[in-house]
Amino acid sequence: MGTDTPEALAGRRTLVNWTHGDYILGNVRLAGAGGPVTGIVDRGGARLGRPALIDEHLMALTAGRIVQRAELGAVVTPPLRAGGLSNRDVHAAHALSNAGCGQEERGEGLDECTAILPAWLHHIADLWRKCGTFRTHPIWWAADFAPVLRTVAAGPACGSGRDDTATVRR
């Protein structure tokens, strides 16, 4: 995809903390239609020592599923092809992160694909681990898994010739 994740992260500082692991809208409880947040549930996939950007990007991607009424694969592949999330989606994702951290600690300045791919991969791995149904479900493979793998296998997109609508300005 243009930027290999380990090399993109080498020598960078990024916030590493407890991550939820399944930080999606369905796991955030609100007092009413306009909030405030009253709780976060389903912490069975929580792990220590993961980059915080995984949860923030997973929230942005899965919120995109709801807005676009599409499967996760259809939401993840366009930003991978374009070179990252739209400015609106990036700002929404970062609003979910620790506002007290500096840009460098939050991982800002990273190629967006360096954040999107691990968020997607952690989510897919957690679904695989939690529910045996997904492992053999042809629709899940076709809709959420295969499109992303095909996009990654197709070659450079991330980090090369980003589209202005996907360029992240921080």
- Does residue 58 fall inside a structural domain? yes
In 3D space, the residue among 127, 167, 114 whose CA is nearest the CA of residue 24 turns out to be: 127
pTM: predicted TM-score of the whole model, two decimal places: 0.71
Q: How far apart are CA 133 and CA 127, in angstroms?
A: 9
Q: How many domains does the chain have?
A: 1
- Does residue 162 fall inside a structural domain? no
- Does residue 30 fall inside a structural domain? no
85: CB partners within 8 A, 6+ apart? 57, 60, 79, 93, 112, 116, 166, 168
In 3D space, the residue among 165, 149, 78, 158 whose CA is nearest the CA of residue 115 turns out to be: 158
How does pLDDT run across 38-66, given as a tens digit for each residue? 999 988 888 898 888 888 888 888 888 88
Give the number of other Cβ atoms within 10 Å of residue 121's Cβ.
13
- Does residue 38 fall inside a structural domain? no
Residue type, 97: S
- Does residue 124 fall inside a structural domain? yes
How does pLDDT run across 105-150, given as a tens digit for each residue? 444 556 677 778 888 988 888 888 877 787 788 898 899 889 999 9
- Does residue 69 fall inside a structural domain? yes
Measure Cα distances from 98 to 9, 14, 17, 93, 136 in Å: 19, 12, 10, 11, 37
Give me the mean pLDDT over the 23-36 stretch. 88
Angle at 80 between CA 133 and CA 26, to 5 degrees: 45
Q: How far apart are CA 76 and CA 61, in angstroms?
A: 7
The pLDDT score that the predictor gives to residue 98 is 46
Q: For residue 135, what are the domain limits?
A: 5-17+51-153
